[in-house]
Amino acid sequence: MAYAVKEIFYTLQGEGTHAGRASVFCRFAGCNLWNGLEKDRNLATCQFCDTDFVGTDGTLGNKYRSAEDLATTIASLWPTNDNQRRWVVVTGGEPLLQVDTNLINALHAENFEIAVETNGTIAVPKGIDWICVSPKAGAELIQRRGHELKLVFPQLLLMPDQLPEVSFEHYALQPMDGPKQAENTQKALAYCLDHPKWRLCLQQHKLLGIR
């Protein structure tokens, strides 16, 4: 199987439970909730998406012919002075349209723990070490268990009390980006104070000016 990858880069994870952790991000091209074209945004299930996942023209973007080739490229970005804490985040778009057992095995062979950031509409394959689900209003939530549920807030048709029955170790509210971000942040902050089960999740990479 070939893998269409938008970009691969080394950075500090910017949001969620592992914020601040050194990570290789592998962003796969394509999504099942939007084609990524601005002209079609109003037709998307996820109209607030802030990510470019179209094509393979980003840093180290390519159509990788094998899982081993992709895993080797990911491993090449990790510092050579520490091979014991390797952490890769497979994201998108929707990475589970492409991530398979061969890639999971190839990344584990390179000594990586694997985190996935998914919209939850596709069941996560065995072998993923950290499951972060970010559900979207209007999309069926298939993956209802994992380590972290990260809900973009507010979504009028998917507020925290409208979620189906789920089981996660961590629950986070991420203020929706855009012209009302400040207002959304205050609303999320207030909700977390009233509902201590939820943590406020800020996009620290944007605040720090990193990828």
Assess whether pLDDT exceeds 90 at residue 206: no
pLDDT for 208: 83
Assess whether pLDDT exceeds 90 at residue 200: yes
Would you say residue 119 lies in a domain?
Answer: yes
In order of 74, 83, 96, 128, the CA distances from 111 in angstroms are 11, 7, 21, 13
Would you say residue 41 lies in a domain?
Answer: yes
Would you say residue 199 lies in a domain?
Answer: no
Would you say residue 118 lies in a domain?
Answer: yes
Would you say residue 113 lies in a domain?
Answer: yes
pLDDT in tens, 145-198: 999 999 999 999 999 999 999 999 999 999 999 999 999 999 999 999 999 999
Q: What positions carry a catalytic annotation?
A: 25, 31, 46, 49-51, 117, 205
> What phi, psi does 145 have (nearest 5°)?
-130, 150
Q: Judge whether 117 and 93 are in contact, CB under 8 Å.
A: no
Would you say residue 20 lies in a domain?
Answer: yes
Assess whether pLDDT exceeds 90 at residue 210: no
Rounded distance, CA 127 to CA 130, Å?
9
Would you say residue 11 lies in a domain?
Answer: yes
CATH number of the domain within which 41 lies: 3.20.20.70
What is the pTM (predicted TM-score) of this model?
Answer: 0.96
Q: Which residues pair with 22 in a beta bridge?
A: 12
The single residue listed with the structure tokens 């999740």 is 201
Print the domain residue range for 142: 3-149
Number of Cβ within 10 Å of residue 165's Cβ equals 6
Would you say residue 154 lies in a domain?
Answer: no
Q: Judge whether 87 and 111 are in contact, CB under 8 Å.
A: no
What's the domain count of the chain? 1
